[in-house]
Amino acid sequence: MSDRESVDEPVCVEHPREHVARVTLDRPDALNAYNESLLRTLVDRLEGLDSDQDVRAIVLTGAGDRAFCSGVDLENMPLTPEMEFAEYEEGLGLFQNVVRTLRTIETPVVGAVNGYALGAGCDTALACDIRIVSEEATIGETFIDVGFVPGDGGAYLLPRLIGESRAKELIFTGRKLEGEEIVEWDLARECVPQGELLEAAEDFAADLASQPPVALGLSKTLVGESLDVDLETAFDQATRAQRICSQTDDHAEAVAAFNEKRDPEFTGE
């Protein structure tokens, strides 16, 4: 049931399965590198899908076989060293807003990393809720190679995913991880052949889409906030979220399905 939207834009949106959207960074000739148009359009599309009640899970990937996102398009950068600080801050904020959006939308996002995910592209992959990589995938915090720091959230995300010491190793050295090595570093759930990547990511996304959407979205929010609050605050947030879930039709449906020994049919209400 695939249909394609945004044909003439740098982001392609398709709906390959029920309740699953696939978002593709669509600049393959530039290895899906970020320019201002791609940055702005990606955030717009993600926010739109998050508000679409028919979409319960998103797969994010890159067009072509070579790259998920190779980082910044050096020929079309939205920021330069000569800018005034406020202008520079605004330009870097475009990159940061991609990570912010992936982290804060309630719809779960599965990153299907099909090639290079470097620099800002690495941070985009890390901001996805789950990552599945191909055997051709390469992930790297390569900012140090050009005398930069991870400006798009990598220094925040990596320690939360793999611990402080290993995060520092990758950031300080610019080391790139490839294929199965990405799984060994706990940065992806599995590594599959390139030709099987989208199917594997969409299979997993479909599993997520079969869950009750309100509980799934609130669970994502609770986990995302968990490392930045104390235990009592976490308890308070969980109580509010649980109360919301208890009043949904999906909770009643889950209980009824359990009692009737059948599979539940969730509506997101």
Q: Determine the pLDDT at residue 90.
A: 87
Q: Determine the pLDDT at residue 185.
A: 97
Instruction: Identify the three-state secondary structure at position 54.
Output: coil
Q: What is the mean pLDDT of the chain?
A: 92
Q: Determine the pLDDT at residue 89.
A: 85
**For the residues 223-252, what does the mean pLDDT come to?**
89
Q: Determine the pLDDT at residue 6.
A: 44
β pairing state of 130-134 and 190-192 = parallel
User: Mind listing the domains of the chain with CATH numbers?
Assistant: 4-209 (3.90.226.10), 213-259 (1.10.12)
> Counting Cβ atoms within 10 Å, is residue 112 exposed (0-12), middle (13-18) or buried (19+)?
buried
Q: How confident is the model at residue 7 (pLDDT cuts 50, 70, 90)?
A: very low
Q: How confident is the model at residue 182 (pLDDT cuts 50, 70, 90)?
A: very high
* Tokens describing residue 245: 């879930």
Q: Determine the pLDDT at residue 14.
A: 97
Q: Determine the pLDDT at residue 8.
A: 66
pTM for the structure as a whole? 0.92
- For the ranges 7-11, 131-135, 152-156, 251-255, the maximum mean pLDDT occurs at 131-135
**For the residues 166-184, what does the mean pLDDT come to?**
97
**For the residues 22-50, what does the mean pLDDT come to?**
96
How many residues belong to the chain? 269
